Amino acid sequence: MIRSVIAFFLFAVVVCAAIIFRSDNGTGPPVAGQPAASPAPAPQAATPAAPTTEVTRAEVASMVLPAASSRIAVPGQIQAEPTIRTDTHLSMEDMTNNVLAELGLLPESASTLPQQATARAATATVLRGLNAATGGQSAVQERVDLQSLVVDALKAGQDDATIDQLVNAAAIGGQVAVPEVLVTADGRVDTSVLLANIITQAKVAAGQTAPPTRPDSITDARGVEVRLVQAAQGATEARFYTVQRGDSLGAIAIKFYGNVNQYPRIFEANRQTLSSPDRIRIGQRLVIPDL
C-alpha cells in the first residue's frame, strides 16, 4: 500500500518535472525557496517567464530527483527557440520612416521626426546644460540599433545578402532589437520584408506609385488553403495559410494583403495560435481574414 502510494507520488513528480522543463526557457530549474505567489515578470522578448506556480513542484522535484531533471527529455519542442530580441514599441512604419528620413528620401514636410543629426545636436546641448547644473559627465552615446545598421549598410551600398547577414548577426547576438513582425518561423530576421518596405515607402514618398494594395493573385500557392463556407447569404471563401520555412508575419501580410502594416488583421484573427507576432512556427495553420 505504502509502496504504491510512493510510486504514484514519484510518478506525479516526474510528470510535473516534465511539464516544467518542457517549457521553452533557457535558464535552469528555479531556485528552491522562492515564494510561489510572485507575479510573472513583464513580457519582454522571445523568452517567456517560467510559470512561478510550478516553483513548489520543482522544489520537490529537485529534492527528490536531483539528477533526473537534467536527463528528462523535453517533449513537444520541434525547433530551437528564437533568441532574437524584439521591441514591441518598434513599429515597421516608424522604422521605415526613420530610415528614409536619414537617407534623405522623405519630403521635409512629411517628416515630423527630427533628423538624426538635429536630434543628436539637441541632445548634446541639453546634456551640456545638465552637466553644468549637476556636475555630471554625461555624453551622447553612440548606439547600434537596427535602424542605424540598415542605414549605414544602405549608404555603403551593400547588397541584400550582406545586409541580411549583418542584421541577423546583430539580432541573434542580442545587440539590436527588431520589430516583432520581422521575426521568421526559424528564428531569423526577415530582411527582405524590411528592405522591400523601405523601397515601397520610398516610392510612395516620391509619388511614383500608389500605396500597396492587396494582390489580385497569390504567386506562391504553397500552404495556401481556400475553403468555401456555406452561409445563409450564400457561399463565402475562407482562407487559411500554413506557415512555411522562412516565413515571418510581415511576409505573410505582404503575401495576402500586399502591405506589411496589415499584419494586425492576421494577428488578431489568430490570437489563439499566436501569443505574439514574433512567435510563429512552421506548420501553424493561420486564418487569413478578408480585407
- Judged on CB neighbours under 10 Å (0-12, 13-18, 19+), 99 is buried
Q: How far is CA 133 from CA 122, 123, 130, 138, in A?
A: 17, 15, 5, 12
Contacts of 109 (CB under 8 A, 6+ apart): none
CA Rg, the chain, in Å?
25
Q: Which is nearer to another protein, 94 or 160 (CB)?
A: 94
The label of the residue with cell 513580457 reads: 43
C-alpha pair distances (Å), 238 with each of 71, 173, 241, 248: 45, 40, 10, 21
DSSP class per residue in 202-224: HHHHTTSSPPP---SS-S--TTE
Among 66, 128, 162, 218, binds another protein (CB under 8 A): 128
Considering only residues 220 through 259, tell me which ones interact with another protein, judged by CB under 8 A. none
Site pattern 153..182 for another protein (x: CB under 8 A): ------------------------x-----
Q: Is 3 in the site for another protein (CB under 8 A)?
A: no
Using CB under 8 A as the binding rule, whether residue 110 contacts another protein is answered as no
Exactly one of 141, 217, 219, 233 binds another protein (CB under 8 A); which one?
141
Q: Is 109 in the site for another protein (CB under 8 A)?
A: no
What is the chain's length?
Answer: 291
- Shortest Å distance, C-beta 131 to another protein: 7
Q: Is 168 helix (H, G, I), strand (E, B) or coil?
A: helix
Q: Choose between 179 and 212: whose C-beta lies nearer to another protein.
A: 179
Size of the site for another protein (CB under 8 A): 33
Stretch binding another protein (CB under 8 A), from 72-80, 135-143, 211-219, 277-285: 135-143
Residue 89 amino acid letter: H
Among 27, 134, 209, 219, which residue interacts with another protein (rule: CB under 8 A)? Answer: 134
89 near another protein (CB under 8 A): yes
Joined grid coordinates for residue 208: 511614383
Between 152 and 186, CB nearer to another protein: 152
Beta strands in the chain (DSSP E): 85-86, 177-178, 224-231, 234-242, 285-288
Distance separating the N- and C-terminal Cα atoms of the chain: 64
Q: Which is nearer to another protein, 123 or 284 (CB)?
A: 123
Q: Which of 38, 79, 131, 275 is close enough to bind another protein by CB under 8 A?
A: 131
Q: Is 63 in the site for another protein (CB under 8 A)?
A: no
What track of x and - describes contact with another protein for positions 25 through 44 (by CB under 8 A)? -------------------x
Pick between residue 56 and residue 91 the one whose CB is nearest to another protein: 91
CA nearest to 203, candidates 113, 116, 106 = 106
Strand runs labelled E in 161-265: 177-178, 224-231, 234-242
By CB under 8 A, residue 52 contacts another protein? no
Cell reading at 290: 478578408
Please give the residue ranges that form the binding site for another protein (CB under 8 A). Answer: 44-45, 85, 89, 98, 112-114, 116, 119-120, 122-123, 125-136, 138-141, 143, 145, 147, 177
